[in-house]
Amino acid sequence: MSMDLFRSNFLTVLLLLVVAGLAIIKFKLPSIVGAFGEWLVNRKLLNLRPDKYQLLADLLLPSHGNTETTQIDHVVVSNFGIFCIETKTLKGWIFGNARQKQWTQVIYRYKKKFYNPLRQNYAHTKAVEALIYPEFSHVPIKGFVAFPVADKLRISGTDTVGTARQIVNKIEQFQTEILSDIERDKIVQILNEANILDEEIRKSHKKQIRSLKRGW
């Protein structure tokens, strides 16, 4: 094989590897960015007192909403109530109203609409409710939405949206104990046992969500 032919084949293979690598990055980037945001929120939630708050992450629970299952980024089970946190790793300015179907992300002249995460989180709270209310119907379940990397939040009609630090502060405002340690831990057990770990079901859930987003 001549040196010129070798170089040509080498460059062709290298180009194909670069193209394949870029395609993989483009496909995986949303998951990587999302995981980073969830890590930021998780780090802040770990500041909650471990003797009063139990933190669960990435729960996939049965749902009676638009999909058969619903995935919750974080659930905090405490002696003061239960808190479901949806994380949105979006930069820029975020505009929205609690009643709007879509909110807006603005970065300079770039604008993008996205589904109101309060509606998404409502399905989360209902899924938790369905699991624990047969036994713990007196426990409040509160939903929050965290934007850990947003520059500005301009959300009206609700006090349940904020940065990761703000969400922790909001959770800590609940100070009336309504659960004993034993009851709190029983709820944690119920949620852990209901958590779906099967990889095929989780892949199916993600496929359903992608299909729904096209209609949002």
Using one digit for the tens of pLDDT, what is the confidence trace for 121-160?
999 999 999 999 989 999 999 999 999 999 999 999 999 9
Q: Model's pTM, two decimal places?
A: 0.82
Most confident of 12-16, 61-65, 175-179: 175-179
The residues that bridge with 71 in the sheet, in sequence order, are 60
Least confident of 17-26, 59-68, 198-207: 17-26
Residue 180 binned pLDDT confidence (cut-offs 50, 70, 90): very high
Q: Count of domains in the chain?
A: 1
The pLDDT value given to residue 49: 95
Least confident of 66-70, 71-75, 155-159: 66-70
The pLDDT value given to residue 54: 97
Q: Domain range for residue 83?
A: 3-215
Segment 7-54, tens digit of pLDDT: 555 455 555 444 444 343 344 445 566 577 888 999 999 999 999 999
The pLDDT value given to residue 26: 41
The pLDDT value given to residue 22: 38
The pLDDT value given to residue 6: 44
Residue 1 binned pLDDT confidence (cut-offs 50, 70, 90): low
The pLDDT value given to residue 38: 87
Q: What is the mean pLDDT of residues 94-119?
A: 95
